[in-house]
Structure 1
């Protein structure tokens, strides 16, 4: 039998041990963590909608009308009118023909990737893709190539030389670096070499683009250029669940083949109704996107002036590269002692030697909040 205790102890020694904080109250910048008041810069609630009064009220009203549980899978008796309405709204929101709901983003990637590729096929996946993409590719049993991050010069000849069905999968906004995939060029390669392109834009949906439709919206890429778009509902949209959008043919195929869609209970219908309220706010209040991106610029200027090494990101994800695991943990702890909550991200979430503080900014933060973070960073600077 494996010595699980020894493995846990080794993780502690290597600075890789993970602990959960106990959060109390609504998801917002000012919260209670392990009983202590903190100003949090580690949430993916980018537009501040998780606690928005309209979203909360819509959920309450929908629970009164529809109950709580989904009751069954979508293919038995769990596909509610609220789910259907949200799928239609998400298709229009992303400029796609159809959309399909999943319970989580992880389940979406597992189900979609393993349905669209199998034995004898080939998957090309960016090396910095989210773990759910990595796991979905493994589950598919296809041959998998993890190409160097955003390296299209490496990818192009491999696509050209690979016969048969090819699936290229990439994050839109990379969750730990905050940088963007070169989607326009990647879409061109996939068209040239007859590969199917899937984009996980979990961290772009709601934040980027003229209408909040994510990176594909920002770049004006059509369904023909990016056939499959995955997004989550628990980040900028502030609720829960995920979706994939694309041509009706592929969405119908996923209904038949995606195991993580077929064999799980549908999300609560009331949650789908609340997400429709979130989509209304994204459309009506573009100032939320403008505000958070203005805070990003302010933070980057201040942190750079303090001498911190930032990664090249213009998104709400702002990593401060530290390198050493223990140093990252110590910086995070020193900030927490000053009432500032910022997560220390370590391997295997990021490559070895690239531990970092992952600062995330939201529309609920103020300029004063960002200044308080910068002041704290000045105090704890190594």
Structure 2
């Protein structure tokens, strides 16, 4: 009798179900009456007429897909323009566009680690996004995972290593929305001759002058020892990712990054949409400040009502729940009341604490913000 090779899946799903950790897909409607505090459309640009028309025009002109990898047929004039505009806007020498922020992070970490035997050490914040963690796992380098947002922990790990090293961190951490101490981390790196690699997915469009990002705000954009990654799917309302840094770093990635060389290029529609969003952000820089104001107001309202929430450094507001099951019920009750919120549970949260994750949007009105906060407070579990 042959053994079913997937029996273990049924057992694991049963354990997840008991723990309240089963994930399900919920297709969203094209048009919805829900107020959205769950998606990452921080600046409210994904449905902006200029952005959608630019995406449609790119698809009409270049086709629905890129047709191949970037090194074969997958690079269009739009890709080149987007790289130039991103680098100029964020203050870096050069940029390279990928099909997602995830593949951009995998590329940056693995390619900059160098070949086997290079002796590179990757020092990784324990709160980093999964894409950075996976990049460190894939890299053929030594690894050290250090305490969250503590420059001293980075310094200790770097001091114990004799050789090349890269400090790897988010700029704004996706679970709680707290910011990394970038200036202090850069100082630690420079004392040991290490590079600093920062995922600015949640900083672009929100932090810095006119939304130019957390590294721009910290005065580190364009520095020779700093590399950034960004996503086009949050503040820019499109899809894709990019690595920004010194020109020689970008040239190295073109020749060595596997998620660039072997992946189909970003769809032209996404590139066109992102370009239009960048143009809008240049023209309307106050959107960045507005999204921060909305996040601050959401935090004020829920904490004054007695809920426990992390003070936001950018657009994410994290509100703690007493258990995974309570978080799921809370999110469902919010949805029933007309509000979509994120629900984060283990293993997506590094500290094992479930929470609602609220994402502020620049296009929300003051009355919508007040109503959303009221819904969250009214539906909260009593032990939250």
TM-score of the pair, normalised by structure 2? 0.94
Count of residue pairs brought into register by the alignment: 373
Give 1:227-266 correspondences, 5 Å limit.
Answer: 227-266=226-265
What is the aligned partner in structure 1 of residue 157 from structure 2?
Answer: 158
In the TM superposition, what are the counterparts of 1:60-75 in structure 2 within 5 Å?
60-75=56-71
Q: Which moved more, 1:277-286 or 1:111-120?
A: 111-120
Conserved in 1, the CA contact under 8 Å of 2:108 and 2:253? yes
Cα distance in 2 between the residues matched to 1:122 and 1:323? 38
Cα deviation code 1:60-79 (max 9, x no counterpart)? 22222222211111111222
Q: CA deviation at 1:377?
A: 2.3
Q: Could you tell me which residue of structure 2 aligns to residue 283 of structure 1?
A: 282
1:4 to 9, 23, 40: 9
Other structure's SS at 1:343 match: strand
Name the counterpart of 2:49: 53
Q: Is the 8 A contact 1:211 1:217 kept in 2?
A: no
- 1:110-259 equivalences in 2 (<5 Å): 110-117=106-113, 118-119=115-116, 120-224=119-223, 227-259=226-258
Q: Is the 1:322–1:356 contact (alpha carbons within 8 Å) kept by the matching residues of 2?
A: yes
Residues 256-276 of structure 1, C-alpha deviations (whole Å, 9 max, x = no match) = 110000001111223212211
Specify the alignment match of 2:373 in structure 1.
Answer: 374
- The question of whether the paired residues in 1 share the 8 Å contact of 2:224 and 2:246 is answered with no
**Residue in structure 2 matching 1:102, options 98, 103, 107:** 98
Mapped partners of 1:332, 1:320: distance in 2:
11
Q: Give the secondary structure class of the aligned counterpart of 1:76.
A: coil
SS in 2 for 1:74: coil
CA–CA separation in structure 1 for the residues paired with 2:69 and 2:155: 40
Q: CA deviation at 1:351?
A: 2.9
CA contact (8 A) 2:210 2:288 kept: no
CA distance in 2, matches of 1:295, 1:274: 24
Structure 1 runs (4+) deviating above 6 angstroms are: none
CA contact (8 A) 2:154 2:185 kept: no
1:28 aligns with none
Supply the RMSD in Å over aligned alpha carbons: 1.4
d(CA) in 1 for partners of 2:351, 2:92: 38
CA distance in 1, matches of 2:151, 2:322: 27
Question: How far off its partner does 1:300 sit?
Answer: 1.6
Shift of 1:225: 6.2
1:16 has 2:21 as partner:
yes
> What is the Cα deviation at residue 226 of structure 1?
5.4
Normalised by the length of structure 1, the TM-score is 0.94
Contact 2:224–2:245, Cα closer than 8 Å, also in 1: no
- Structure 1 pair 357–105 and aligned structure 2 pair: CA distance change class (3 A): same
Partner of 2:324: 325
List runs of 5+ in structure 1 lacking aligned partners: 26-30
Out of 34, 37, 44, the position equivalent to 1:41 is 37
Deviation, structure 1 residue 332: 1.2
Residues 103-130 of structure 1 deviation map (CA, whole Å, 9 limit, x = unaligned): 0011111111111115332100100000
**Residue aligned with 2:335, SS:** helix
State the distance in 1 between where 2:13 and 2:221 align: 47
The whole-number CA distance in structure 2 between the counterparts of 1:85 and 1:107 is: 20
Unaligned 5+ segments in structure 2 are none
